[in-house]
Amino acid sequence: MVPAHEGRAAEPVYRPILATRRRGELEALNHLDPAVAPLLAPILEIGTVDRSTRDALRRLPVGLLPAVDVTGLPDSADTELARWDVPLMPVIGLAEGDRRLVTHGTAARAYARRALIRLRVAQDRAGPDADTTAVERIWRFTGLAPEECDLLVDAGDVCCPADVRVAEPRVRRLLDWARRHAWRSATVAAGGMPPTLSRLPTDEPTRLERWDWQLWRRLTDVGVDYGDYGVGPALAEHGDPGDRMLTVRYTADDGWWVYRWSRRGGRGDDRFADLCRTLVAAPHWSRAGAAFSWGDHELLRRARRGAGAGSVANWTAWSTSHHLAHVLAALVRPDDTNGSGWDPPSGPPQRGRSLR
């Protein structure tokens, strides 16, 4: 077994939940600046287990320690994470079987002696005493202590003001319960992108609120870290099945700008170049331009007709790359999210107040 990466000078401040079923999201991680990798702790939802999945994890930048979630897959030898020979943290749900808890404990001790316990707001609503019984069972079967576990409170989709109003008190009740235990860290995550974009207009940019970001900002008094679902929804694939629109999701301070271009009988390369020219001329385009992220660099190339339109996976990768850079900038240097680029801190970032 390989040991966990060494030299992680800073604790993560951002936990994006990314899905291997959405092609392109792992590609964005592969182009992450290694200097900021320790500030990011992606949670990877694994849809299938094969050699390509494990190879993709091995290609991640040094310093990035992903948390891997195989909860949706059958409990088998293929999903025993200690066999993958890749540095990772297991993601543990409250309802995991005894055997899987034991194997997750083996994986946690093999790589980093850390695990992430994922509590889903919509599903795990049995009450504080039942939740305590569940996490104590996890610690017993995995052999881990509470301070070796990170807590993720996953609010799921929050796509409108009503969703935020409903989610906030539920999340606060769970965080109140969490104070009973000595977690290594606590993160609140949600997905703010609508499950479908088919009702949005085409051939013009449309602004959508980042309700997940607004939910987290309402919880800053608690001192929890931030997580989201990147530029995708929590419970669905990107877009609609069969939707062939040229689509870029570009993250701004409190919202997304969705560029959804029709082909209108033209060549895809020409139409995507028009989309990208519109984007780079917009006020929400990063002032750092191509230097802000790999995704911004690729979009600017298309605006200048330096390459072809690419595919749905490419558009997801470029959108995700910009999103990761934007969120990290907002968390580490909040005054420069759309600015002239930023340098990662030399020491640990200023984190929110500890959960108390």
CATH code for position 60: 3.20.20
pLDDT at 349: 36
Q: Which domain holds residue 160?
A: 14-336
State both tokens at 136: 């104590």
Average pLDDT, integer, range 230-247: 73
Percent helix, strand and coil across the chain, each to the nearest 5: 35, 15, 45
Number of domains observed in the structure of the chain: 1
Does 7 map to a domain? no
| Greatest Cα pair distance in the chain | 61
- CA pseudo-torsion sign 273, 274, 278, 281: positive
Distance CA 283, CA 10 (A): 33
Is residue 289 included in any domain, yes or no? yes
Q: Which residue has the tokens 């996490």?
A: 135
Euclidean distance between CA atoms 344 and 222, whole angstroms: 25
Q: Is the pLDDT of residue 279 over 70?
A: yes
313, 318, 324, 329: CA torsion to nearest 10? -170
Is 77 among the domain residues?
yes
Residues facing 15 on adjacent strands: 227
Number of CB atoms found within 10 A of residue 267's CB? 11
pLDDT of residue 315 exceeding 70, the answer is yes
Asked whether residue 85 is domain-assigned, the answer is yes
- pLDDT of 264 reads 79
354 falls in which pLDDT band (50, 70, 90)? very low
**Alpha-carbon separation of residue 194 from 92, 100, 211, 318 (angstroms):** 27, 33, 10, 19
Q: Is residue 345 part of a domain?
A: no
42 CB-near residues (< 8 Å, 6+ apart): 15, 16, 17, 18, 29, 64, 66, 67
Q: How far is CA 12 from the centre of its chain?
A: 12
Q: Would 292 be classed as within a structural domain?
A: yes
Mean local confidence (pLDDT), 68-82: 93
In the chain, what percentage of residues exceed pLDDT 70?
Answer: 88
Distance CA 245, CA 108 (A): 42
For the cut 50, the answer to whether the pLDDT of residue 353 exceeds it is: no
Q: What is the reported pLDDT for 335?
A: 60
Would you say residue 353 lies in a domain? no
Assigned domain for 355 exists: no
